[in-house]
Structure 1
Amino acid sequence: MSESFPRLHARTRRFTLGVPRAFTVAPDGARIVFLRTKGGCDPVTCLWEFDVASGAERLIADPRVIAADEENLPPEERARRERSRESAGGIVAYSTDAAVTTAAFALSGGLYVVDLRTRSVRHLRTPGPVVDPRLSPTGVHVGYVTGGAFHIQDLEDEVDHTLARPESSEVTYGLAEFIAAEEMDRMRGYWWSPSGDAVLVERADESPVERWHIADPANPAKPATEQRYPAAGTPNAKVELFVLTLAGGRVPVPFDDEYLVNATWDDHGLSIITMTRDQRTMRLFDVDPETGTSSLVREDTDPAWLDVVTGVPAHLSDGSLVWVTSLDGGRRLVVGDQPVTPASLQVRDVVGVNGDTVLFRASGEPTEIALWAYKDGRITLVSPQDSGVYSGQTAGGTLVITGQTLDGEGAVTRVSHHGRHVGHITSHAERHGLDLRVSLIRAGERELATAVIFPSGHVPGSAKLPVLMDPYGGPHAQRVLAASGAYLTSQWFADQGFAVVVADGRGTPGRGPEFERAILHDLATPVLDDQVDALHGAAARFPDDLDLSRVGIRGWSFGGYLAALAVLRRPDVFHAAVAGAPVTDWRLYDTCYTERYLGQPSEGHYDASSLFADAEKLERPLLLIHGLADDNVVAAHTLRLSSALLAAGRPHSVLPLSGVTHMTPQEVVAENLLLLQVDFLNKALS
Structure 2
Amino acid sequence: MQLRVWGVLILSFFVSLTVAQNKQLTLEEIWGGEFRTERMQSLHSMNNGKEYTVLNFDKVTGVSAVDKYDYKTQQKVATLISSNAINEISTFTDYKFSADETKLILATEVEQVYRRSRLGMYFVHDITSGTTKLIFDQKIQEPTFSPDGKKVGFVFENNLYFKNLENDEITQITTDGKKNAIINGVTDWVYEEEFAFVRAFDWNKKGDKIAFIRFDESTVPEFSMDVYGQALYPDQQVFKYPKAGEKNADVSLHIFDVNTSSLKTVDLSSYSDFYIARIKFTKDTNVLSAQLLNRHQNKLDLLFIDANSVASKVVLSETDKAYVDVTDNLTFLPNNSFIWTSEKDGFNHIYHYDKTGKLLKQVTKGDWEVTRYYGFNKRNGRIYYQSTETGSSNRGVYTIGINGKGKKALAANLGQNSASFSTSFDYFINTFSNVNTPPSYTLHESKNGKVVKEIVGNKELKQKVADYNLPSKEFFTLTTEKGHALNAWMIKPKDFNQNKEYPLFMFQYSGPGSQQVSNRWNSSNDYWYYMLAQQGYIVACVDGRGTGFKGAEFKKVTYKELGKYEVEDQIDAAIELGKRPYIDAERIGIWGWSYGGFMSSNAILKGNDVFKMAIAVAPVTSWRFYDTIYTERYMQTPQENPGGYDENSPINHVEKLKGDYLLIHGTGDDNVHVQNTMRMVEALVQANKQFDWALYPDKNHGIYGGATRLQLYTKMTNFIKRTLPVEKESTLEKIKG
The question of a shared fold, defined as TM-score above 0.5 by the shorter chain, is answered with yes
- For 1:449, the equivalent position in structure 2 comes to 487
Give 1:150's aligned residue.
160
Counterpart Cα distance in 1 of 2:40 and 2:434: 17
Give distance in 2, aligned partners of 1:69 and 1:223.
32
| Unmatched 5+ stretches in structure 2 | 1-19, 110-119, 354-358, 726-737
2-side partners of 1:465 and 1:328: how far apart?
A: 44
Cα displacement string for residues 460-502 of structure 1 (whole angstroms, at most 9, x for unaligned residues): 5153221111111111321111102353343233233211111
Q: Tell me the residue number matched to 1:525.
A: 564
Letter matched to residue 279 of structure 2: A
Equivalent pair of 2:471/2:533 in contact (CA under 8 Å): no
1:549-585 CA-to-partner distances (Å, cap 9, x unmatched) read 1011111000111111111111111110110000001
- Higher relative CO (Cα under 8 Å, sequence separation at least 6) belongs to 1
Q: How far apart, in 1, do the equivalents of 2:32 and 2:663 lie?
A: 24
- How far apart are the structure 1 equivalents of 2:93 and 2:51? 19
Say yes or no: does 1:676 pair with 2:715. yes
Cα distance, 1:680 vs structure 2: 0.2
Distance 1:36 1:5 in 2: 30
The answer to whether the Cα contact below 8 Å between 1:332 and 1:342 also exists between their aligned partners in 2 is: yes
CA distance in 2, matches of 1:628, 1:67: 41
Aligned counterpart for 1:264 among listed residues 269, 272, 280: 280
Q: Decide which moves more: 499-508 or 426-435.
A: 426-435
2:612 aligned with 1:595: no
2:8 aligned partner: none
The equivalent residue for 1:27 is 47
SS at match of 1:304: coil
Q: 1:6 to 1:239 in 2, by over 3 A?
A: farther
Which structure has the bigger radius of gyration? Answer: 2
Alpha-carbon distance, 1:266 to partner: 3.4
> TM-score with structure 2 length normalisation?
0.83
2: CA distance between counterparts of 1:423 and 1:685?
48
Matched, 1:349 2:368: no
Spell out, residue by residue over 1:569-616, the C-alpha distance to the aligned partner (whole angstroms, 9 max, x if none).
111111101100000011110101101111110122210121122111
Query: Residue 610 of structure 1: which of 634, 649, 655 is its match?
Result: 649
Alpha-carbon distance change, 135 to 26 in structure 1, aligned in 2, over 3 angstroms: same
What SS class does the counterpart of residue 571 from structure 1 fall into?
A: coil
Q: Which residue is 2:70 aligned to?
A: 51
Using the aligned pairs only, state the percent identity: 24
Q: Is the 8 A contact 1:106 1:132 kept in 2?
A: no
Match of 1:95?
96
Q: 1 CA distance for matches of 2:88 and 2:501?
A: 54
- Give distance in 1, aligned partners of 2:385 and 2:105: 27
Q: What is the Cα deviation at residue 521 of structure 1?
A: 1.4
Residues 624 and 343 (structure 1 numbering): CA distance in 2 closer, same or farther, change over 3 Å? same
Aligned with 2:253 (options 241, 244, 247) = 241
Moved more, 460-469 or 189-198: 460-469
Aligned to 2:292: 274
Contact (CA 8 Å) 2:602, 2:648: kept in 1 or not? no
Residue 86 of structure 1 is matched in structure 2 by none
Corresponding position: 1:385 with 2:412? yes
Q: CA deviation at 1:275?
A: 0.5
What is the correspondence of 1:531-680 to structure 2 with a 5 Å cutoff? 531-539=570-578, 543-603=580-640, 604=642, 605-680=644-719
Once the 2 structures are TM-superposed, how far is the Cα of residue 283 of structure 1 from its aligned partner?
Answer: 0.6
Aligned residue number for residue 4 of structure 2: none
Deviates more, 1:592-601 or 1:662-671: 662-671
1:77 maps to none
Q: Secondary structure in 1 aligned to 2:205?
A: coil
What amino acid is the match of 1:232?
A
Q: How far off is 1:443 after superposition?
A: 0.2
Amino acid at match of 2:148: T
Pairing partner for 2:266 from 253, 264, 288: 253
Instruction: Provide the residue aligned with 2:392 in structure 1.
Output: 366
Q: Deviations over 1:208-233 (max 9, x none)?
A: 21111111357561211111111111
The verdict on how the C-alpha distance between 1:9 and 1:197 changes in structure 2, with shifts beyond 3 A counting, is farther
Contiguous gaps of at least 5 residues in structure 1: 71-88
Q: Does residue 323 of the first structure (1) align with residue 340 of the second (2)?
A: yes
Q: CA deviation at 1:106?
A: 2.8
SS for the counterpart of 1:508 is: coil
2:7 match:
none
Letter in 2 for 1:410: P
Return the offset for 1:656.
Answer: 0.3
Structure 2: how far apart are the matches of 1:502 and 1:47?
Answer: 41
SS at match of 1:559: helix
- 1:150–1:218: structure 2 CA closer, same or farther, 3 Å change rule? closer
Distance in 1 (alpha carbons) for counterparts of 2:585 and 2:87: 56
**AA of the residue aligned to 1:366:** S
Distance in 1 (alpha carbons) for counterparts of 2:350 and 2:535: 44
Alignment of 1:71-86 (within 5 A): none
- Separation (CA, whole Å) in 1 of partners of 2:536 and 2:202: 52
Q: Give 3-state SS (helix, strand or coil) of 1:111's partner.
A: strand
After TM superposition, the structure 1 = structure 2 runs for residues 65-214 of structure 1, keeping only pairs within 5 Å, are: 91-92=93-94, 94-108=95-109, 109-115=120-126, 120=130, 122-169=132-179, 170-214=181-225
Distance 2:244 2:305 in 1: 31
Change (3 A) 1:251 1:493: farther
The farther-off stretch of 506-515 and 475-484 is 475-484
> Counterpart of 1:484 in 2: which secondary structure?
coil
Q: Secondary structure at the match of 1:215?
A: strand
Give the deviation of 1:415 after TM superposition. 4.8
Whether the 8 Å CA contact 1:172–1:205 is kept in 2: the answer is yes
Q: TM-score, normalised by structure 1?
A: 0.89
Pick closer, same or farther for the CA change 1:204–1:505 going to 2, 3 Å: same
Q: Is the Cα contact below 8 Å between 2:304 and 2:313 reproduced in 1?
A: yes
Maintained 8 Å contact 2:666/2:695: yes
Q: Structure 2 vs 1, CA of residues 46 and 565 (structure 1 numbering), >3 Å: closer, same or farther? A: farther
2:318 matched to 1:300? yes
Alpha-carbon spacing, 1:167–1:532, altered in 2? closer, same or farther (3 Å): closer
Tell me, yes or no, if structure 1 residue 332 matches structure 2 residue 349.
yes
Q: Do the aligned partners of residues 515 and 22 (structure 1) sit closer, same or farther apart at CA in structure 2, a change above 3 Å counting?
A: farther
Structure 1 pair 218–101 and aligned structure 2 pair: CA distance change class (3 A): closer
SS at match of 2:276: strand
**Letter of the aligned partner of 1:332 in structure 2?**
H
Cα offset for 1:139? 1.4
Q: Deviations over 1:210-268 (max 9, x none)?
A: 11111135756121111111111111122222111222121222332511111222324
Moved more, 159-168 or 502-511: 159-168
